[in-house]
Amino acid sequence: MYKNNAFKIIFFIILIIIGVAIFFIFFKNKIITDNNSEQVNIYFINYMNKKIDIEKKTISKTDKKDKISLVLDEFFNVNKSNFNNSNLFKNIVIENVNIEDNLVKITLSNKYLNLEPWEDVLFRTLLVWTLTDISGIEGVTFLTDNGKQLIYNGEPLGELTRNNVIISPDMKQEEANKHVVTFYFVNKEKMRLFTEDREIEIHSDQSLEEQVINQILQGSKNAYNLINDVKLLDATTINKTCYVDLSSDFLIKLKEDDKMQELFIYSIVNTLINLSGNRIQKVQFLISSEKVNEFSDKINLSQPFEKNESLVI
């Protein structure tokens, strides 16, 4: 009986110790913070957990400019210690810090331009999130020591905010794919082809060629539509040639108006070849899965077609 009681007492003591430890860990910073100091969040990369983490630091309460200086100091310290690399950000020298309204302008020495790409991206991203965590700061601009903005690929970097610098993006595959495609349709005058840019929703259960051809067959309100009833049986690209298999209605429709034959054929050909850059260079038509050896004197459907811009307005 005494043994049982002893175990119970020991158990409760252990529980109390754990409770105090948890309280201390989670509320330590709140306890420590008093009226003369405040907490700031320093962003760093946690290689153990493979994610971006925050380390809370306490700094003295001061004006904005001094606060930013203190935060910058903590930023460098935290990142160097967490990266286990004292050479991290070695070549980054901050020459000057200015605050204009809600924007922090940081002037870096020209040594910054020699940084490795990963160090550059790491520094900018983590610093932007650290500084914009401070109340009243919404963006950061990086300048070189000649006072001009950093230039990347010929373009100034611009103001970096939390809207255009995303850390640990939460991206999904399932969001809708919309894409602008240039379609070639036969104009109402039935004389030429015209282009129409259309934003279409791309579905992964059909190939792009099939989705685009179906849109062509549906036609456009601005176009002369003849082949609406034609069914697409298949569209597959092999060795840069797209094999378009249509129902026999296609031949029937084309034979109705032999002047239109070329236009409707190149409506499909030009749209497909233009769509995919170099992926499709030719289009071969099949009717009910077979090549048509005899069609008309002008058109030889048994051979593949290449792009023809001469028919376009």
Partner 1 sequence: MVIIFNRIKEHYGLRWKLFVGYILVAFIPVVIISRTINTSIEDYFLSNKEGELKRKLTRIADLVSEENYIFDKNKSKEFKNAMLVKSIEESMRILILDNKGTVIDDTNSIENGKVLFSVEILEALKLKSTSRLQDDNITMYTSVPIIDEKSNIIGIILGVSTIGDINELSKDIKDNLLILNIVMLVLVTIGVLCMSNIIVAPLNKLLKVVNMMSEGHLDQRIEVKGHDELSKLCIAFNNMNDRLEEVEHTREEFVSNVSHELKTPLSSIKVLSESILLQESVPEETYKEFLQDINSEVDRMTFIVNDLLILVKLNQKAEVLNIQEVELNKILYDILKRLKPIAEKNNIELTFNEIRKINVEVDEMKLSLALSNLIDNGIKYTQEGGSVKVTVDADHQNAFVTVSDTGVGIAEEEQSKVFNRFYRVDKTRNRGTGGTGLGLSITHSTVLLHNGSIKLYSKEDEGTTFIVRIPIKYTK
Instruction: Output 2 or 118, the one with its CB closest to partner 1.
Output: 118
Stretches 54-62, 101-109, 203-211, 257-265: which one binds partner 1 (CB under 8 A)? 203-211
Q: Which of 52, 59, 99, 299 binds partner 1 (CB under 8 A)?
A: 52
Q: Is residue 113 close enough to count as binding partner 1 by CB under 8 A?
A: no
Stretches 10-18, 64-72, 166-174, 294-302: which one binds partner 1 (CB under 8 A)? 166-174
Q: Which of 279, 289, 300, 303 binds partner 1 (CB under 8 A)?
A: 279
Identify the burial level of 213 via C-beta atoms within 10 angstroms of its C-beta, where 0-12 means exposed, 13-18 middle and 19 or more buried: buried
Q: Positive or negative, the Cα torsion across 8, 13, 15, 16?
A: positive
**Contact present, 117 and 152 (Cβ < 8 Å):** no
Q: Is residue 153 close enough to count as binding partner 1 by CB under 8 A?
A: yes
Tell me the sheet residues that pair with 139: 103, 161
Q: Which of 175, 189, 256, 294 binds partner 1 (CB under 8 A)?
A: 175
Smallest gap from Cβ 68 to partner 1, in A, equals: 21
Phi, psi of 103 (to 5 degrees): -115, 135
164 three-class SS:
coil
Stretches 47-55, 136-144, 245-253, 296-304: which one binds partner 1 (CB under 8 A)? 47-55
Whole-angstrom Cα distance, residue 45 to residue 52?
A: 4
Q: Is residue 147 close enough to count as binding partner 1 by CB under 8 A?
A: no
Q: Is residue 118 close enough to count as binding partner 1 by CB under 8 A?
A: yes
- Number of residues in contact with partner 1 under rule CB under 8 A: 44
Q: Which residues contact 305 (CB under 8 A, 6 or more apart)?
A: 265, 266, 269, 282, 283, 284, 285
Smallest gap from Cβ 191 to partner 1, in A, equals: 26
Which runs of E-coded beta strand occur in 47-110? 51-60, 94-100, 103-108
Q: Is residue 236 close enough to count as binding partner 1 by CB under 8 A?
A: no
Q: Which of 152, 191, 248, 303 binds partner 1 (CB under 8 A)?
A: 152
Pick the closest to residue 224 from 182, 267, 177 (CA basis).
267
Q: Which of 6, 166, 312, 313 binds partner 1 (CB under 8 A)?
A: 166
Q: Is residue 275 close enough to count as binding partner 1 by CB under 8 A?
A: yes
| Local structure of residue 305 (DSSP, 8 states) | B
Pick the closest to residue 130 from 55, 204, 187 (CA basis).
55
Residues in contact with partner 1 by CB under 8 A are 45, 47, 50-52, 116-118, 120-122, 124-125, 152-153, 160, 163-179, 181-182, 202, 204, 207-208, 275-279
